[in-house]
Amino acid sequence: MKHISISAFKYALETDKANPAIAFINVCTPDEYSAKHIEGVRSVPLDELESRVAEFQDKKTIYLHCRSGNRSKRAAELLERRGIHAELVNVEGGIMAWEAAGLKTVSVSSRLPITQQVFIAAGLLILIGTLLTRWQGMMFLVIPAFVGGGLLFAGVTGWCGMAVVLSKMPWNKK
């Protein structure tokens, strides 16, 4: 696996984006990709990459990036383990470094990603439940306990009820 800087990635994107033997891949979640991405870079979320390996069999070079560079490194390692013989290139710093360099991103959505909304809602419910326990009585401990149980369940199963509810809210409708 090779690591390159943002400036080298920008140059490669400008010169090679029309080359069918070269792939430019963003491995962020769909929500992150909608919030901001680099024009000309295709979305293949890390959690889908394993099932989509065949798409990359004929590629000569694959550039991978994510938000900070960690998931794209894991993606390159996964592709390598699955027998992809292309040159795998991890973009150091990811989209955060791209923006820090003053380069333009594309935004499809102005809303917060669902996972971030879940963190905000869970934190707020835990805080409110804890404060109510202090001033109104111990029965309000059920609120943070319920939220904590829900987060534990989401972590174990991969299914988050709060995310499902939040995704149905009017501000999350397209």
Q: Which of 15, 24, 4, 31 is nearest to 107 (CA)?
A: 31
Active site residue 66: yes
Distance CA 30, CA 13 (A): 21
Distance CA 20, CA 77 (A): 22
Token couple for 68: 């900070």
Q: Which residues pair with 64 in a beta bridge?
A: 25, 90
Residue in 66, 88, 91, 160 annotated catalytic: 66
* Amino acid symbol at 91: V
Query: What is the set of active-site residues?
Result: 66
